[in-house]
Amino acid sequence: MKATTKRCVKGALVKSGALGLAQRFQSSAAVVLMYHSVLDDPRECADSIGIESIHSTDNFRKQMEILARYCNVVTLDDIRLYLTKDRAMPRRPVAVTFDDGYADNAEIAAPVLDRLGIQASFYVTVEAVDTGRSPWFCPLRHAFTTARRQTWSDSTGRIWDLNDVGQRESAIEEASGHLTRLAGSAQHGALQALERDLEPEPFSPRRPLMMTWEQARGLRRGGHVVGSHSLTHPNMAHIADDVLRRELTESKRKIETELAMPVVHFSYPAAALRVSWTQQTVAASAQAGYQTAVTTTNGVVTRTSNPLSLCRLGAPSDLEEFRWMVQSAVLKFS
């Protein structure tokens, strides 16, 4: 009952125009929206990307139409200049970002954005784009979803019943917490060991999951921002200092080589574990030459935000909830 009442109140406020009127008298905050994947049928990659990370094409198009009609869509370059006091923000500023570097970003999302004149930021996991091999959390989810084994024992000896959906999801989170602390060959080795334990079906997606460098170059030619999402998608707050520096600098260098342009935007990976950035990672990002870095910390961007630890909001699928979130967020409501 409370949820229904709350939804009705939100819908009434949005439709009444009260939030839009209030925005004339409030100093705006910039909203940075976070997306991952856009597919015609999200169920197609439910056991790899994960259904919670996928928006349907129809839903995404409607959300972008809302932004084009009611907001001023800005880029991370605009936000960077805003935070350095070199550019003012328009009313109701919203930026659109994508993490991971999935092929559907270029094949499905970008055409929607281009038709509406929306420039977005795409953060690519460099090794995944370079090799065409999905980042570790896709085959990990697939392994648990299609495992021949009925149970899984974690490093503490706890046994998880994989036939129970709730326990299986918790087991995925537990395993992700281990792999996200690793990078490179250590990460690959841990994934292979997990797959041996679970005996899953072969991981062979029906379509290539990751974009190519040519697609990334096409996004850049279309006016979009292409940034780094690290080399191998570890949690940057939980890896050794030398690994942290390598993930930051080598991913930047590789993108700059492939796209023949400077790369100054970064997105902190956060497949698991609550903390994904620290003051140490902020300092390392600056040292590597990044000028902005977005996080998965919920919130909006204000004049006092640190450009190397920018808050974002995950875009909900429900359209009324999406309208409410965007309109209320630019007023800096909690």
Query: How would DSSP label each residue in 8-34?
Result: HHHHHHHHHTHHHHHHTTS---BEEEE
Phi, psi of 84, deg, nearest 5: -95, 10
Amino acid at 114: D
Residues 6 or more apart whose CB falls under 8 angstroms from that of 63 comprise: 55, 315, 319, 322
71 to 95, 96, 213: CA distances (angstroms): 10, 12, 31
Q: How far is CA 113 from the centre of its chain?
A: 17
283 to 140, 180, 230, 232, 248: CA distances (angstroms): 31, 21, 16, 20, 11
Domain 31-133+210-329, classified CATH 3.20.20.370, yes or no: yes
Q: How far is CA 195 from the centre of its chain?
A: 25
The separation between the first and the last C-alpha atoms of the chain, rounded to the nearest angstrom, is: 22
Q: How far apart are CA 137 and CA 179, in angstroms?
A: 8
Residues forming CATH 3.20.20.370 domain(s) in the chain: 31-133+210-329
Residues 6 or more apart whose CB falls under 8 angstroms from that of 21 comprise: none
Phi, psi of 266, deg, nearest 5: -130, 150
Amino acid at 312: R
Question: Pick from 267, 251, 271, 249: which is nearest to 259 by CA?
Answer: 251
Q: What is the pLDDT along the chain (334 residues), one digit of tens a residue?
A: 545 544 543 444 444 444 443 444 344 689 999 999 999 999 999 999 999 999 999 999 999 999 999 999 999 999 999 998 878 889 899 999 999 999 999 999 999 999 999 999 999 999 999 999 999 999 999 999 999 999 999 999 999 999 999 999 999 999 999 999 999 999 999 999 999 999 999 999 988 999 999 999 999 999 999 999 999 999 999 999 999 999 999 999 999 999 999 999 999 999 999 899 999 999 999 999 999 999 999 999 999 999 999 999 999 999 999 999 998 887 754 3
Contact 311, 295 (CB under 8 A): yes
Cα 323-220-58 angle, rounded to 5 deg: 35
Residues 6 or more apart whose CB falls under 8 angstroms from that of 312 comprise: 32, 33, 34, 97, 294, 295, 296, 297, 298, 299
